[in-house]
Structure 1
Amino acid sequence: MLSKHQQDIARTLSWLCGWLYFTAWSLSFYPQPLLNYQRRTTSGLTPDFPLLNVLGFTCYTVSTAVFLYSPVVREQYAVRHPVSPEPTVRFNDLAFGVHACIMCVVVYSQFWPKLWGWKQLAGVKRQANKTTLGLLWGSLIGVAATIVVVLAQNSHGNSRDASTWEWLDVVYSLSFVKVLLTVCKYIPQVLANFRRKSTTGWSIVQQLLDLSGGALSLTQLVIDSALQDDWSGLTGNPVKLGLANISMGFDIIFIVQHFVLYGPVEEVHSGSEVVQACGRDDERTALLVRGGSAV
């Protein structure tokens, strides 16, 4: 059991980690749209990533807001976690979710170049694949089905027991959708980089910030659980635990792709033309993206 002084230090560290991860993760949403704007194209970025992000962070934001401000859900959580009745969700989680939703919509809007005054280049993929669309619809149907079950049980006046579905389960369904989409959103981009043998158009700065944020988020969750002297706080907040580990795993894959396998890659901009210079083994090869011809 931690002493009062140790608990005060731990709470301060938790608060610091919370806002540091919020800062790192929030900043990670800017390099990609800025890179797209600089290049005036989304070439190299798969539309599946921002599209899955839009729904994923919407689920994350809603679940976090409910955990923070719904007395019903907080009471149900306390009943299921009597040792640590306080959810390990903080206001910085909600602030991060709202900001993330907005930035994901911005990035996805860049796949319509006319909205940004860009010329529409040939060969730029703008439609998500069928698997992605299936995941989106499947996730929505799954959450809707959970809501129907909860409403049906409440209408029959079922007493609360271990088998009863509650609104807390709806919140958990949103959390699991976010985790599922986080796993799936990276896969098309990993495969696209592998097929192209390049990370051009994919911001590595975004991944470095994301890796830092994931590590800090996980650290805060561990500290909060230690303060409660109950490690079920980790499983009680599966979305935060899952996001940190999954994101860091894929971040490492992208870092290896960029710095070890295919790059690093620098881009030179000349007027309205986008030129990429690929430097591997000190070999400089300039490719003119527009029209796909070599310079």
Structure 2
Amino acid sequence: MNFLEFVSALFGWVYTICWSLSFYPQAILNFRKKSTAGTTVDFPFLNSLGFLSYLIYTCALYWSPLIRHQYALRNNGHTPTVAFNDVAFAFHALVLTAILNTQYFLPSIWGFEQSAGRKPSRFITGIFTGCITGIILIIFVVASQPQTADPKTSWAWLDVIYVISYAKLLVTVVKYAPQLVYNSRKRSTKGWDISQILFDFTGGLLSIAQLGIDSYLQHDWSGVTGNPVKLILGNVSIFYDLLFMAQHYCLYRDDGLKGNGEREALLERGENGRRLD
């Protein structure tokens, strides 16, 4: 293993650890205050679909001989730039997201106030339903292809995996928006743990760096173009992380002033009926 290979492996595991740690602060904060106040249910709800999609995507590219073969046909014989740490991260993220969802949908088992149980907005529910529908449609299209079809130029199971990955991309693009809007409406980030954003920001930077190093080592940038999910995930996450940091450290840095608790409680009661609907 040369130096760049070592750096790539190091970045891979460090960003995996950072992104994995980002799932704990919010769940721990909710547990400590026995409430999910200050956060929207839209984020964990949509995240569950996103990481289920990402787990399927990474497992297929890492383990499936059929998918890896079809990928090589379309990318100059190169193998996917998905590493085992990507699979490990996706699995861990799905488990932690599922646990976080129980705090919103089953608050009683955590000892939270019963009123803390909420429903996702119609907008987020529509995104969720649309992603599932799109995946089912592409599966039907590929299953209808003749067995003699060339996977390099025709619809193939690799395209199903790509569509599943695009569902993850769409989730990532949308999932932060409700919380950003909610923070803006109550002019506070109270209840939203900024630690998860700092971990996510560091992980995003290292993820992009690893992808670039791996593509350089292959002497072919199809490692980037052939793995758009990893590239775009890192960039989108960084963009949203910067917005959250701006809210927390600049725009609403005095959100602990007296009176915010009352304003947050009022918004909590009112927002449930009109969040991005």
When normalised by structure 2's length, the TM-score is: 0.91
* 2:261 alignment partner, SS class: strand
Residues in 1 aligned to 2:73 and 2:56: alpha-carbon distance in whole angstroms: 21
Residues in 2 aligned to 1:262 and 1:290: alpha-carbon distance in whole angstroms: 13
* 1:287 alignment partner, SS class: helix
- Asked if structure 2 preserves the Cα contact closer than 8 Å seen for 1:61 and 1:98, the reply is yes
Superposed counterparts of 1:181-260, under 5 Å: 181-260=171-250
Amino acid aligned to 2:101: Y
Residues in 2 aligned to 1:138 and 1:37: alpha-carbon distance in whole angstroms: 32
The one of 13, 19, 31 aligned to 1:25: 19
Superposed counterparts of 1:37-52, under 5 Å: 37-52=31-46
Matching residue of 1:87: 80
- Asked if structure 2 preserves the Cα contact closer than 8 Å seen for 1:20 and 1:216, the reply is yes
Instruction: Decide which structure has greater strand share.
Output: 1
Residues in 1 aligned to 2:254 and 2:164: alpha-carbon distance in whole angstroms: 37
Q: Residues 219-264 of structure 1, C-alpha deviation per residue, up to 9 Å, x if partnerless?
A: 1000000000111211111110111000000000000000100125
Aligned residues: 265
For residue 157 of structure 1, report the CA deviation from its aligned partner.
Answer: 2.8
The structure-2 alpha-carbon separation of the partners of 1:194 and 1:289, relative to structure 1 and needing over 3 Å to count, comes to: closer
1:71 aligns with 2:55: no
Amino acid aligned to 2:120: A
Residues in 2 aligned to 1:290 and 1:253: alpha-carbon distance in whole angstroms: 20
Larger relative contact order, structure 1 or 2 (CA cutoff 8 Å, min sep 6): 2
- Asked if structure 2 preserves the Cα contact closer than 8 Å seen for 1:64 and 1:94, the reply is yes
Residues in 2 aligned to 1:191 and 1:289: alpha-carbon distance in whole angstroms: 15
Matching residue of 2:123: 131
Matching residue of 1:15: 9
For residue 162 of structure 1, report the CA deviation from its aligned partner.
Answer: 5.0
For residue 287 of structure 1, report the CA deviation from its aligned partner.
Answer: 3.5
Residues in 2 aligned to 1:108 and 1:92: alpha-carbon distance in whole angstroms: 24
Amino acid aligned to 1:165: W
- Asked if structure 2 preserves the Cα contact closer than 8 Å seen for 1:43 and 1:125, the reply is no
Could you say which structure has the larger radius of gyration?
Answer: 1
Residues in 1 aligned to 2:178 and 2:204: alpha-carbon distance in whole angstroms: 21
Instruction: Decide which structure has greater helix share.
Output: 2
Q: Residues 90-122 of structure 1, C-alpha deviation per residue, up to 9 Å, x if partnerless?
A: 00000000000011011111012211122224x
The structure-2 alpha-carbon separation of the partners of 1:286 and 1:246, relative to structure 1 and needing over 3 Å to count, comes to: closer
- Asked if structure 1 preserves the Cα contact closer than 8 Å seen for 2:186 and 2:263, the reply is no
Amino acid aligned to 1:104: T
Question: More displaced, 162-171 or 226-235?
Answer: 162-171
Aligned-residue sequence identity (percent) comes to 43
When normalised by structure 1's length, the TM-score is: 0.86
The structure-2 alpha-carbon separation of the partners of 1:78 and 1:290, relative to structure 1 and needing over 3 Å to count, comes to: closer
